[in-house]
Structure 1
Amino acid sequence: MADFPACPQCGLENVYADGALWICPDCGHEWSSVAEAAEGGVVVRDSNGNVLSAGDSVVVIKDLKVKGSSIPLKQGTVIRNIRLVEDDPEHIEGNSDKIKGLVLKTIFLRKA
């Protein structure tokens, strides 16, 4: 029988695998062991606590001023195909339709 990990939120061992996610039916927590293993333990999370991985799409949850540009990043703007910043779980890189080369804090983003 496979060795299942304990839930990182509640610590109970009553978990099951659903594709690439581990799910705890006791507390409802979902996490990705693939993302944690690929990152070497560094997990990037959005403002809601969802795990982000390279290639995901995120949505801006607050109007943001962009340094070096007169165009603000409006709430609801979708950033597609994000890249994770190595060894920094608080920042991601990506492009919007109008502004290229953005580095954004994860506290202003939610997974799309």
Structure 2
Amino acid sequence: MPAVPACPQCSLDNTYADGALYVCADCGFEWAADAQDAEAGASAVVRDSNGNVLADGDTVVVIKDLKVKGSSIPLKQGTVIKGIRLVADDPDHIEGNSDKIKGLVLKTQFLRKA
């Protein structure tokens, strides 16, 4: 059985195949299976939680409080991450540094472009 891809709209993995369509159980988004295959062949576009395209060097803002593994300091809502770097072959993650924590890898669903 082929693996069902993550939702292109909300980036969550709670999706299933329904005939010729893929459906996201979380946001209700539906997309054609052949459209996903064509998109996988193209280079992945990295988008923030609002759908804005992100690029290397952009500045993003955290939209909710996040616990950071390996640190007792959480990232608070509104924290600015400057000079992000895109992760190769992974449109769901970016790398960056905050003022207090260095070497962060963050999911794009918790970020918005500043």
Report the TM-score, using the length of structure 2 for normalisation.
Answer: 0.63
**Pairwise CA distance, 1:41:** 2.1
Give every structure 1 segment of 4 or more consecutive aligned residues whose post-TM-superposition deviation is greater than 4 Å. Answer: none
Answering whether residue 56 of structure 2 is matched by residue 54 of structure 1, we say: yes
Q: How many aligned positions are there? A: 73
In the aligned structure 2, how far is the partner of 1:90 from the partner of 1:102? 14
**Pairwise CA distance, 1:57:** 0.2
1:44 alignment partner, SS class: coil
% same residue: 85
In the aligned structure 2, how far is the partner of 1:49 from the partner of 1:78? 18
Q: CA RMSD in A?
A: 0.7
Equivalent position of 1:32 in the other structure: none
Gapped regions of structure 2 (runs ≥ 5): 1-41
Equivalent position of 2:87 in the other structure: 85
Deviations 1:57-95, CA, capped at 9 Å, x for gaps: 000000000000000000000000000000000000000
* One-letter identity of the residue aligned with 1:59: V
1:1-112, aligned counterparts within 5 Å?
A: 41-112=43-114
Larger radius of gyration: 1
* One-letter identity of the residue aligned with 1:80: K
Gapped regions of structure 1 (runs ≥ 5): 1-39
2:83 alignment partner, SS class: strand
* One-letter identity of the residue aligned with 1:77: T
